[in-house]
Amino acid sequence: MDYSVLLFYKYVSFNNPEDFKETHLNFCLNNNIKGRVFIAYEGINGTVSGTIEDIENYKTHLTSHKEFSDIVFKQDKADSHTFKKMHVRVKNEIVNSGLGDVDFSIEGKRLKPEMLKQFYEENKDFVIIDARNTYESEIGRFKNALTPDLETFRDWKNIISEIEDYKNKTVVTYCTGGIRCEKASAYLVENGFQDVYQLDGGIVSYTKKFPDTFWEGSIFVFDERRIVEPNTRQEIKHIAKCYYCGEPSSYYINCHNYDCNKLMVSCHKCKVENDYCCSENCRKSANKRKEYHG
């Protein structure tokens, strides 16, 4: 465990993403940092990995930009790099929302992990909504959470009619690290929701403080780890089921028949036994993936 993974984002008006891209990429290449960083006029969003020492240098470097001097880092241990390469990209949005210009001044109130835990413990009358994609909520979610059918975050704008009944209730939104909820929660307020909170620091911050409580299952992450398992209690360690045998699992595979490519949760034993294919037909396909992962 000599490596660190760093997650961070900040919405802040940023003037020269193109210049930043060049110098930032060079810094990362020269300092053995791998991962992906998105930079836009609206801010920054990144996940990077490196040795503990290199990551400390990275943090110092990033916070030397005045726009990012107070950025919040979420840091995790890792056995090795969790990315193969380093990418820095200039984007229109640091997370694709398609929501247009969001008025951050009306975003949902920030709910500390302690407060969310208290909401649960006191049986408060509240609705908790997952702002992540379906393949993320499928393998992990907060207890009793609504998990709208979102193929991508761009679908968020379509869920209002689905949740309209909760306009006068206390609503809590959550996502992995908080970045999606800043926009998702503002969008709910904009659409007439009266009492909107967003989980501060997201699932990552909550589960770090309170594993084995109200978060059930695994956390999908966008690096080579694929998932993080915050819980040790057997009954909430995995909430999804193996496509083949039905045993609890959180690991995704795509059917190795390229023409099918079906996304499924599988335990290790079954994926090997089934040659990473969803069916006998797919196993016989001539158009199969040659590489095996995990």
* Contact set with Zn ion (CB under 5 A): 242, 244-245, 247, 255, 257, 260, 262, 267, 270, 278, 282
- Judge contact between 33 and 49, C-beta under 8 A: yes
Q: What is the rounded distance in angstroms from the CA atom of residue 175 to the CA atom of residue 162? A: 19
CB of 139 to Zn ion, least distance (A): 14
Residue 241 backbone dihedrals phi, psi, to 5 degrees: -120, 145
CB-facing half-sphere around the CA of 264: CA atoms within 13 A: 23
Residue among 154 and 268 whose Cβ is closer to Zn ion: 268
Residue 245 bears catalytic tag: no
Residue among 205 and 257 whose Cβ is closer to Zn ion: 257
Q: Which residue is catalytic, options 28, 175, 242, 278?
A: 175
CB of 78 to Zn ion, least distance (A): 27
Q: What is the rounded distance in angstroms from the CA atom of residue 85 to the CA atom of residue 103? A: 35
Residue among 210 and 244 whose Cβ is closer to Zn ion: 244
Residue among 103 and 275 whose Cβ is closer to Zn ion: 275
CB of 233 to Zn ion, least distance (A): 21
Active site residues: 175
